[in-house]
Amino acid sequence: MKKYSTEILSIIESIINKGPRELHAPFFTSYEKFFLNKCISTGVVSSIGNYVNIFEKKISRITKSKFTVAVNSGTSALHLALIAANLKKNEEVLMPAFNFIANANAVSYLGGVPHFVDIEKESLGVDPIKLERYLLKILKKKKGEYFNKNSGRKIKILMVTHIFGHSAKIKEIKKLAKKFNFIVIEDASEALGSFNDKKHLGTFGDIGVLSFNGNKIITTGGGGAILTNKKKYFNRVKSLSTVCKIQHPWNYNYYDVGYNYRMPNINAALGLAQIGNLKNLLLSKRKLFKLYNKRIKNLNWVSLLNEPKKCKSNFWLQTLIISKKNKSLLEFIISRVNKKGIQVRPVWNLINSNKPYRYCPSMNLKNSIEMKDRTINIPSSPGIILSKNERK
Ligand SMILES: Cc1ncc(COP(=O)(O)O)c(C=O)c1O
């Protein structure tokens, strides 16, 4: 075990050199201070302000999404996406178990029930072939709607997550969703700057979600966005994120229960500075992938997760995949490298291994279980490649 962990440790140490040892540290230049100071000097730092509107326009330009609504986290974005999709209490929502817990939590906020599905091993996203076989077995159709034969609960929403910036098989998944009339919510939280066949991730589904948390490719401190091409979703989400206030210059009236989820102006100011460096950040991530891959491809017991065919990944988190027969090395490697002060981590435990979700319906999760035990994220900060203050 020591031999294998030494191989990985020496590769990581030599590549990160004096760079950040965290999994993903944000990369700031003097622009961020400039934008933040400018925002502070206007006195408009909260949930109304022009930086938020400009930030939304820039995200729409990058993603080619017709509409963008900026909110205060990716989790809030998922929550609002589910309300817009009209999720009702006791309905089931299909989602991968190999996923961040926010997806299941957002469903629970509305009294829905997550129903876990398996992934394929190439992209670590939902497996459309396996899912179709499963759905044909468990669904029954009643008056044009689909129900889980076993629980009797309605299923009308499929959530898909693009993992570590790599595209899931989203075109095939969309075809499948069409067959069953599912609304697709596409979690592209980790995928700003990633494309499938030149189309930005998050714009394939009916509603897409981005996160700008501190560990993402660009950050607004905390933040997220909802992407959609459908006006009805845009109007609903925009209104829900601003407490469902009826527009009026001074009167306060509300047409529904809303949420105070709008992204604050000061966070958007930070985001605008970050967007200005996005191209550079994306180049640095690709370069880092190449550096790691050049070394790791010589090892026969481990590989680096690569971008799927016809896709362009943002390479948000560099990901080691240990060969099946060597998966017992995972714990040892993680522990040894962390002891050296370098942050590496396994992927999340499957969502249904957490207490609130233990008894939720699930298909056979063979690939998810296997890949969870073979996956390690390694340091991926842009600052490993970019020197301080570097922007183009
Ligand atoms: C796949 C995925 N979905 C949702 C989220 C939630 O985003 P946030 O942390 O901005 O609430 C994250 C990230 O943290 C994520 O990685």
Quote the percentage of the chain above a pLDDT of 90: 97
| pLDDT at residue 392 in the model | 61
| pLDDT at residue 2 in the model | 85
| pLDDT at residue 389 in the model | 64
Quote the percentage of the chain above a pLDDT of 70: 99
| pLDDT at residue 21 in the model | 97
Confidence check: pLDDT of 276 > 70:
yes
Cβ–ligand 1 distance for 224 under 6 Å, the answer: yes
Cβ–ligand 1 distance for 124 under 6 Å, the answer: no
Q: Which atom of ligand 1 is nearest to the CA of 99?
A: 1
Cβ–ligand 1 distance for 220 under 6 Å, the answer: no
Q: Going by CA atoms, what residue is nearest to atom 7 of ligand 1?
A: 74
CATH number of 2-27+278-384: 3.90.1150.10
Cβ–ligand 1 distance for 304 under 6 Å, the answer: no
Q: Decide whether 2-27+278-384 matches 30-275 in CATH topology.
A: no
For residue 264, the 8-state DSSP code is P
| pLDDT at residue 149 in the model | 98
Look at residues 199, 160, 161 and name the one whose alpha carbon lies nearest to residue 312. Answer: 199
d(CA 144, CA 16): 55
- Beta-carbon neighbour count of residue 273 at 10 Å? 23
Confidence check: pLDDT of 197 > 90:
yes
pLDDT in tens, 49-73: 999 999 999 999 999 999 999 999 9
User: Average of pLDDT values for 355-384?
Assistant: 98
Measured in angstroms, how far is the CA atom of residue 201 from the centroid of ligand 1?
Answer: 15
Confidence check: pLDDT of 299 > 90:
yes
Of 73, 75, 215, 350, the residue with max ligand 1 atoms within 8 A of its CB, to mutate for a pocket test, comes to 75
User: Average of pLDDT values for 360-373?
Assistant: 98
| pLDDT at residue 48 in the model | 86
Confidence check: pLDDT of 13 > 80:
yes
User: Average of pLDDT values for 284-289?
Assistant: 98
Measured in angstroms, how far is the CA atom of residue 103 from the centroid of ligand 1?
Answer: 8
| pLDDT at residue 192 in the model | 98
Ranges of beta strands (E only) in 136-180 are: 139-142, 145-148, 155-161
Q: Going by CA atoms, what residue is nearest to atom 8 of ligand 1?
A: 74
pLDDT in tens, 135-154: 999 999 999 999 999 999 99
Cβ–ligand 1 distance for 186 under 6 Å, the answer: no
120-123's contacts with Cβ under 8 Å and 24+ in sequence apart are 120/169, 120/367, 121/367, 121/370, 121/371, 122/169, 122/308, 123/162, 123/163, 123/166, 123/167, 123/168, 123/169, 123/308
Q: Provide φ and ψ at 212, rounded to 5°.
A: -120, 35
Cβ–ligand 1 distance for 267 under 6 Å, the answer: no
Cβ–ligand 1 distance for 242 under 6 Å, the answer: no
Of 213, 345, 350, the residue with max ligand 1 atoms within 8 A of its CB, to mutate for a pocket test, comes to 213
Q: Which amino acid is at 385?
A: I
pLDDT in tens, 219-265: 999 999 999 999 999 999 999 999 999 999 999 999 999 999 999 99
Locate the domains of the chain by residue range. 2-27+278-384, 30-275
CATH number of 30-275: 3.40.640.10
| pLDDT at residue 47 in the model | 82
User: Average of pLDDT values for 28-40?
Assistant: 96
Cβ–ligand 1 distance for 377 under 6 Å, the answer: no
Angle formed at CA 50 by CA 48 and CA 51, multiple of 5 degrees = 100
Pairing of strands 183-187, 155-161: parallel
* Arithmetic mean of pLDDT over the chain: 97
Cβ–ligand 1 distance for 368 under 6 Å, the answer: no
| pLDDT at residue 165 in the model | 98
pLDDT in tens, 73-115: 999 999 999 999 999 999 999 999 999 999 999 999 999 999 9
pLDDT bracket for residue 387 (50, 70, 90)? confident
Measured in angstroms, how far is the CA atom of residue 389 from the centroid of ligand 1?
Answer: 27
Confidence check: pLDDT of 196 > 90:
yes
